[in-house]
Amino acid sequence: MAGLTVLDASVLIASFDSSDAHSRTARASLLDADALAAWALTLARILVGPTRIGKGEKMQAAPSDLGIRSVPPLAGSAPAVAALRAEAGFLTPDSCVLYTAITISADAIATRDCRLRRAAAERGFQTP
């Protein structure tokens, strides 16, 4: 069990798309966690594709239906997110995932992104 797990968009998108090559492992990441959380921007990112094809409204409830807690951005978090991005060298959304895991004392980060996975592991997070 992975305890409290912060999800990134790649895992969420794959878990909702059975045709995705990572769908099975993404779903396993969700099932293996005791509790799930995602930063609000991550949840917005997973709505882009469904919104483009007219299914955004239907998809909006899916994360909460799975018990995924939405973590809002914290006031004053911009400098810490920027520092994580500068240090790790990945994109701002991935920095936000890492920052979220740090601030809510998560046990794990579920991602398909190699750089985020490596940065998470270096900081002591499980990476299912």
Q: What is the pLDDT of residues 102-124, one digit of tens each?
A: 999 999 999 999 999 999 999 99
Run of H or E residues at 6: strand 4-7
What CA–CA distance (Å, rounded) separates 59 from 117? 26
Question: Which residue, 41, 125, 31, is CA-closest to 78?
Answer: 41
- State the DSSP code for 113: -
CATH class assigned to 4-122? alpha beta
What CA–CA distance (Å, rounded) separates 95 from 64? 23
Reduce the DSSP state of residue 104 to 3 states and report it: coil
Question: Which residue, 126, 74, 63, is CA-closest to 99?
Answer: 74
- Supply the pLDDT for residue 32: 86
What is this structure's pTM? 0.91
Residue labelled with tokens 């992104």:
113
Q: What is the pLDDT of residues 11-33, one digit of tens each?
A: 999 998 888 888 898 888 888 89
Q: Is the pLDDT of residue 1 over 70?
A: no
Indicate if the alpha-carbon torsion angle 5, 100, 67, 60 is positive or negative: negative
What CA–CA distance (Å, rounded) separates 118 from 100? 16
Q: What is the pLDDT of residues 58-106, one digit of tens each?
A: 888 889 888 999 999 888 899 999 999 998 888 889 999 999 999 999 9
Question: Which residue, 63, 13, 5, is CA-closest to 33?
Answer: 5
Q: Where are the domains of the chain?
A: 4-122
